[in-house]
Structures are given as C-alpha cells and as structure tokens.
Amino acid sequence: MHYHRTTEDEKHIISAWRYEGEYAIYDNIPYDEQKRLGRGFANPRNNFFSFYDGERIIGFVNLIDEGREVFFGIGVSPELCGQGYGQRMARAACGIASELFGEKPLYLEVRTWNSRAVRCYEKAGFRIVGTPFEQITGGGAGTFYRMIQGKACDAAFWEASWEGIEAARVSAYLEQFDMSSDRIIQYLKAQGAASVCDAGCGCGVFSLKLALHGFSVSGFDLSDAAVRLTRDLLKSKGYPSDGFRAADVLDTKYADGFFDAVISRDVLDHMPIRDATAAADELLRITRPGGCVLLTLDGTDDEYEAQPHERNADGDYLFTDGKWKGMVFHPYSPDEVKRLLPHGGFEIIDFSADGLTVIIKKQPA
C-alpha cells in the first residue's frame, strides 16, 4: 500500500464513487460542483491523500489542522469496503499527521449507526470519548460519536479515572498497602540508588513507600489529577512533593541520566506494545549510566478476558465497553518482554500468574 497527495484527476474519480443502501449518505457531489462551492475536495484547508494497493486506488484520507488538534476523515472505494483497507489507511494517516502537524492529537466524528466504521477506527487505535451528539453535515442530520486517537484518548481515560478518586479512598488504600521492604526496595538499596523516579505515580502510595525507605523520590503521571493526589499525600506525611509533575512517559522532559533509578509500576502494560517499547527507551534515557529501570507488568486473568474488548494484531487489548471502556492493556509473559525489549539487557526477577517484575540495567559510561 502506498499513498500521495490527491491529484485533480483523483478528486474527480473519488467524487463519482457511489455507495449502496444507508451508506449512500457518504456519496459526494461532482467535483466541479465542489470547486464552485469551495467545499469538500476543493476546500483549501483540507489535506487529502490517495491510497493505492498496487495500481488500484483504494481510498483517501483527509487531515485538517484545527489548532490544538487535527480532524481526520477517511473514505474507502465502495467495492473494497469491509476488506481491512480502512484500518491500514487510518494507521498510516496517524503517521502522516505526525509528519505534518507534530504530536497534535487526531479526532474524528462517525455516525453512531455505522458500527463497521467504529470497529475499524477502534482497531486503528481510536476510542470513543464523551456521549453521542447531534449535528448536521453535508450528508444531513445525524447522531455522532467523537473518537480520539492514541495518546490523547489515553490521557482522557486516565484523567477521568483519577478525577473520580477522593482523598478518603487513597487513605483507605494506604491503610492496607504493605509499606515494609520488598524485593524492589532491596534491589534499589543494593544498587546504591539515591534518587528514584516514580514513572506513572498514580495516587502516590508507592512514592510514599520509596520516601519512607530513605530514597529521594520525584516523578510524574499522565494525569494532572493523579499528580495532585500524590503531592497531597506526600505533603500530608511530611515529605517533599514539589518534584512531581504531569508528563508523558514517551516524552518526560527530564535531562539525560537525571535519576539513579526509575520505577514504573503497571504503566507500560497499559500502552500499545509499540509505544511501550519507546517508553522503555525514554525511561532508560533519564537513568544515569550504571543505573536501572524497574518495570512491573501484568499478565492477563479472567477479569481482563471477561471485559468487552478488541485485540489487534500486536496483541494489544482495547476495552470497548464496561468499567474499563477506553483503556488499553497488553498482557505480558517472558516472551512478550522479549518483544517489549528487543535489544535485551534485562532480567526478570519475579514472575507469577499475576505478572512479572523486570530490571533493565543501563550500561556504565
């Protein structure tokens, strides 16, 4: 499959496509009429790309820069709908958008009755956010879902999750949490680590445990709400809290080699494995030479399997309904760790049915 900027001839061809049944709502008016009206393929704000499988045009995508985010549209040749081309084109469009507009999040709007399109977008990494809404488009009035791609949706899911957590619930969790030394604490002490980053700090309970055992701890989370919970917890126990901030594990903004060690508990297993591999590289980058990164990763269980989800070709789960709707999960086994860390250099220090703990040593300078 290959693509290029849509040509004038291709705009005429695509505008003549005609869909059957209820999908006829996606038919275009002739391209000459679009040019007269300055809309559709003739709207200069649009960025159209035509996709080919060999010599055959299979569809197009459209990207519109709207400032803080990018609108994404797609069309597949009527005779090729339902054959998997839409998913492949949608994934490619994410890469095109990144080249054109940087890391701005992509969003799309899809009619709620179009379950075929919704499944396609979900498999390509988009997720429904918010509630359905009404609007009028060139195809008429309808009810739509708003779907957001990748990291933007992850941020929305986790922010909503942590926003609902009250201090009393954190306190209850803290009361039953084991604050005694464990294998991770013992390993960090044996390595002579002093400064530790809690990458994906959540509500801050493990950050507090690190502080209680004498480490200088700071860290980050994708969610602003989680960072607030962490700061409040550490402050309430008399520990410094200014070193916690909101950040993305793929781009932490810390300097190279800033920490003696980084601990990331149940974070990378809630990312697509391709992103998780990049995140592991980022955590190694902020670890000093000779330091280490410790990861805890969940395996699957009956609850993960029972919740409604789709599974893509990489083995990532996308939960499509129920209490985890919008969450990503990738189950790990020793073999999956090899996929996560293809360059090796790791040791699995704990492995059970519940998950595993992995240590990545950063080579001395």
- DSSP of 214-283, one letter per residue? T-EEEEEES-HHHHHHHHHHHHHTT---TTEEE-BTTB--PPTT-EEEEEEES-GGGS-HHHHHHHHHHH
The verdict on 238 and 287 lying in the same domain is yes
Indicate if the pLDDT at residue 259 is higher than 80: yes
Q: For residue 330, give its domain range.
A: 156-361
The verdict on 143 and 221 lying in the same domain is no
Torsion of CA 52, 61, 124, 126, to 10 degrees: 180
pTM recorded for the entire structure: 0.66
Q: Mean of the pLDDT values across residues 122-136?
A: 82
Out of 132, 148, 164, pick the residue that ends a domain.
148
- Tens of pLDDT, residue by residue over 32-55, are 999 999 999 999 999 999 999 999
Out of 103, 131, 148, pick the residue that ends a domain.
148
Q: Mean of the pLDDT values across residues 107-123?
A: 89
Indicate if the pLDDT at residue 150 is higher than 80: no
Q: Structure tokens of 231?
A: 């700061």
Mean pLDDT, rounded, of the chain: 91
Best CA proximity match to 1, nearest among 64, 83, 79, 73: 83
DSSP 8-state secondary structure symbol assigned to residue 62 = E
- Tens of pLDDT, residue by residue over 322-365, are 888 878 899 999 999 999 999 999 999 989 877 999 999 999 97
Q: Structure tokens of 342?
A: 């293809």
The verdict on 183 and 118 lying in the same domain is no
CA angle 307, 295, 304 (to 5 degrees): 10
φ, ψ (nearest 5 deg) of residue 298: -85, 150
Q: Are 361 and 292 in contact (CB under 8 A)?
A: yes
The verdict on 265 and 126 lying in the same domain is no
- Tens of pLDDT, residue by residue over 187-241, are 999 999 999 999 999 999 999 999 999 999 999 999 999 999 999 999 999 999 9
**Domains in the chain: how many in total?**
2
Q: Are 295 and 268 in contact (CB under 8 A)?
A: yes
Least confident range from 120-124, 132-136, 224-228, 237-241: namely 120-124
The verdict on 138 and 173 lying in the same domain is no
In this structure, what CATH number is given to the domain that contains residue 322? 3.40.50.150
